[in-house]
Structure 1
Amino acid sequence: MFIAQASKYTQSFWKYLVIPILFFGLMALNYVAVEFLEIDMNQFMQEEIARKGANRVLAENLSAFVLFLGGLLFWVKYIHRQPIRALTTSRKKVDWGRFGFAFILVAVVNTIIIVADYYSNPNDYLYNFRPEPFLYLVIISVLLIPLQTSFEEYFFRGYLMQGLGLLGKNRWVPLILTSVIFGGLHYFNPEVTKLGNIIMIYYIGTGFMLGIITLMDEGLELALGFHAANNLITALLVTADWTAFQTDSILKDVSEPSAGWDVLIPIFVIYPVFLFILAKKYGWKNWKNKLFGKVVPSNT
């Protein structure tokens, strides 16, 4: 129903092409410019942080997503003539309780994992807490990170999920494509350079996790809460000189970056536990149909 309900408002598929072409075109142009000019993005980031400070650089980078989100929602509302609620959920109104539950669940688990690793491997971290910069970080993060993650959810699990679902008239095509594309875009993150291609399993797996909970729950609320908590807690608690988010966080990871089979733990251990908890709480049933079934457009 979450996908099918979009057919009430959209009759021309060309409308679904404009925003993806603009967004992916911008990403491609940025990549070509970096390669053509031979810019070392990690060095460039370090120089920008040294010149402006980590908080200002973070705010500038996140501000672009405010424009992206505003542009996407404007396009949906005024070109597709689709209510934002219908892009968010199949329910009669957005269930913020679902958002809050997913946010708290992910925030608690991520905090426990970071704290446990800190006490297990204290030599891998520096205590980085400074009250004033951290206060500014909290303000910037609370205001802007949820907008950044909301754009990604509305774009991938909302807009593309509905558009591809209507085009393919099924659920599995949008689930696979949005998850792979979402994960694939993270290929340009500095973490991939440092940790190797194996980290892509985590990124694509996270895309599948978010896609599954969107389809099973017939709405974005859980994915919005999950994604916001994941990025927010990481930005506030731990940073490193080689990550996409370099912040004035409480801890700084100074260990030699490496990744092995441990990157599979979230995909094959933690995420299944999350799915089990959410399925029990919200009574998910008929998994086969909701993940692989047909989409029957409705104009009523």
Structure 2
Amino acid sequence: MAEALVIARGLVKRFGQFAAVDGIDVEVRHGEAFGFLGPNGAGKSSTMRMIGCVSPRSGGELRVLGMDPDRDGPRVRARLGVVPQQDNLDAELTVRQNLHVYGRYFGLPKAHVRAKATELLAFAQLTERADDEVEALSGGMKRRLTIARSLINDPELLLLDEPTTGLDPQARHLLWDRLFRLKHSGVTLIITTHYMDEAEQLCDRLVVMDRGRIAAEGSPAELIGRYSTKEVVELRFPPGTDTDAMEPRLDGLADRVEALPDRVLLYAADGEAVLGAVHIRGVNPISSLVRRSTLEDVFLRLTGRTLVD
């Protein structure tokens, strides 16, 4: 087993009587991309802040890079890269100046910072915008600059909190490519996200968090195999249809049947065979779809479909 860079045992974070993180066990290995997947308020960001040594734990054990964050915070932070949820770039400085100033916070020599900044501008595809002020950049460019800035100290461990929130599809895919390259260069990634496709694309392993606890852990493929089926059949019906009344007519066709207000989902190994059987039983949706199971199916089964504030 690869060396673990982060080890948490019974980790707890409380705010008054509220347990944002309620006794979780986590192990992040060297060289992997590890994800925290969960709805808003699940405890993902609170966990990341403890790992990043900016929020003390309320209980349990935590080791990051072999050190105790509460006691060795400055030493740990010197070896971390952090990409926060919200970009906190200096809008009045140029793209290049943002990298230079941040590099000096780590006490790095000026010549090293200049050379590293040039390398990171190329990595983030921002070389042509190096002398532009940050205010003029698009959202995707700002996000790439934030990631480039987090790499100025050659971190062993990179923490990314909701890295692609608010970005358009093209910007998201470009960012995924940059993160994929980082992982293959040996940087260990810890990513929080509530985007299922992002977790499937980026993460070697992940945990699904809900209400401060870990509901499941494994690779994306393992979780889909454990909590869902190979395929899902979606049957859509006209508005006002009593989809609950459909369930008895579909009984026995699939491993699991789920009735939603506008459609019925049938989870099965062979979706086309199930769809054929649906029509034989005289159930006629206005549209149907056979698709593969995804992490979203796992996520909703584990955390539910009810919105929690």
TM over 0.5: no
Structure number with the higher helix fraction is 1
Q: How does the TM-score come out when normalised to structure 2?
A: 0.22
- Computing the radius of gyration from Cα coordinates, the structure with the larger value is 2
Q: Determine which structure has greater relative contact order: mean sequence separation of CA pairs < 8 Å that are 6+ residues apart, divided by chain length.
A: 1
Q: Which protein has the bigger strand share?
A: 2
